[in-house]
Amino acid sequence: MDDGLSSFRLPRAPVAAAAAALAPAALLAGCSGPQSWADTAGVEAEAVARLLWIMVAAAVVIWLLVIGTMLFAARSGPSDPRGRGARGLVIWGGMVAPTVAVLALLVAGLILMRDLTGRTGELTVEATGEQWWWRIAHAAPAGDADAAPVPTPNELRLPVGRTVEMVLRADDVIHSFWVPSLGGKLDMIPGRVNRLHLTPTRTGRFRGACAEFCGEAHAQMALPVVVMQPEAYADWLAGQAAPAAEPADARTRRGRELFLATGCGACHAIRGTAAEGKLGPDLTHVGSRLTIGAGQLPMGRAEMARWIADAGAVKPGVRMPAFDMLPAEEIRLIADYLVSLE
């Protein structure tokens, strides 16, 4: 039965073993980022990250043991088929060890799940997934229980150290709300209401994203998130609750006229003006936001003009039509007006 293949040998150090051994180092070095769930800024995300590192370490050890055993078995000479080695290997390695490991994991997982759910929020934020933006509304500032929630689309601001209950809904298709630095994701499903609790632990700017494929522009449905000191948050929310500022100069006044005359109000609302559209994001304080188009462009006059002229060139698939049939100057005027709405 000599077919010339027996000379072949496995190399000593499989690449994967080396790679797996190096992986934790690489992970620790490179896991920071505005959308990283290892670079945590919330109680919920921290609970998951702690478990992550324990599991990764255990997984590397288990992998090395199993694959090391396999390579040893493949190189070792024949042994007695009725000997204890083979039998013990299957019983201890194949049954007892996995049973113990998954039981331990299950207990850890159930405790984690208990910690992450079944909580109550100190404040409530409603978020509705839309193709492809976030309709967000904060409960009105304290003391005014009957006031309508304050619309603050496409940007989530939270006070540090308070547990917020996110009330998640969807209008059109299924989306998923995910701000990895703060905590895990939860789907936004038409016809259902889901509730997610987040407790930020440090201030800063983070990034969320839609995690459930929701159609054409899914990739560009981002969500800027800002965690603030409670006082700053209260100030910000009071500002957002107010109607839009009157134009301060002729240029922005002309911009508002053009905004209303061009029909922008069919989709967008600017509280305090005749624009009361509900299809698109509320623009009452659009100038105060960090980004345009759900995290696609930084806020600025040139960027706003670019967005108005052809939003689809920035965010293919977006529902907002291009307005590049308008003279460039008119677009600039509208953009200036919008950016002035702080």
Return the residues of window 115-134 that contact other proteins according to CB under 8 A: 115-118
Paired tokens of 186: 């939860």
341: helix, coil or strand? Answer: coil
List 130, 155, 165, 212, residue binding other proteins (CB under 8 A): 212
Name which of 108 and 326 has its Cβ closer to other proteins: 108
Q: At what angle do helices 250-261 and 328-340 cross, to 10 degrees?
A: 110
> Which strands form 186-188's sheet, in the order they lie side by side?
156-159, 222-228, 204-210, 175-178, 186-188
180 binds other proteins (CB under 8 A): yes
Paired tokens of 281: 């994001």
Tokens 């190399």 sit on residue: 11
166 backbone dihedrals φ, ψ, rounded to 5°: -85, 125
- Omega into 132 within 30° of 0, i.e. cis? yes
| Interior angle at CA 107, CA 104 and CA 110, nearest 5 | 150
272 binds other proteins (CB under 8 A): no
List 16, 242, 274, 279, residue binding other proteins (CB under 8 A): 16
216 binds other proteins (CB under 8 A): yes
List 148, 215, 263, 278, residue binding other proteins (CB under 8 A): 215
Name which of 213 and 276 has its Cβ closer to other proteins: 213
* Burial profile 230-264: b = 16 or more Cβ within 10 angstroms, e = fewer: eeebeebbeebbeebeebeeeebebbbebbeebeb
14 binds other proteins (CB under 8 A): yes
Identity at 181, one-letter amino acid code: S
Would you say 165 and 197 are in contact if contact means Cβ atoms under 8 Å apart? yes
Please identify, among the stretches 191-199, 260-268, 280-288, 334-342, the one whose residues bind other proteins according to the rule CB under 8 A.
191-199
Least Cβ distance, residue 105 to other proteins (angstroms): 6
Give CA–CA dist 240/234, Å, rounded: 10
Name which of 108 and 260 has its Cβ closer to other proteins: 108
Least Cβ distance, residue 273 to other proteins (angstroms): 31
Name which of 78 and 143 has its Cβ closer to other proteins: 78
Query: Euclidean distance between the first and final Cα of the chain, in Å?
Result: 83
Name which of 111 and 147 has its Cβ closer to other proteins: 111
Least Cβ distance, residue 202 to other proteins (angstroms): 17
Length of the chain: 342
Biggest alpha carbon distance in the chain? 95
229 binds other proteins (CB under 8 A): no
314 binds other proteins (CB under 8 A): no
Least Cβ distance, residue 33 to other proteins (angstroms): 4
Return the residues of window 317-336 that contact other proteins according to CB under 8 A: 317
143 binds other proteins (CB under 8 A): no
CA 159 to chain centre: 18
Identity at 274, one-letter amino acid code: A
Output Rg (C-alpha) for the chain, integer angstroms.
27
Number of residues this chain uses to bind other proteins (CB under 8 A): 112
Return the residues of window 54-93 that contact other proteins according to CB under 8 A: 55, 59, 62-63, 66-67, 69-83, 85-87, 89-91, 93
Least Cβ distance, residue 268 to other proteins (angstroms): 22
Name which of 14 and 243 has its Cβ closer to other proteins: 14
Return the residues of window 89-118 that contact other proteins according to CB under 8 A: 89-91, 93-95, 97-99, 101-103, 105-106, 108-110, 112-118
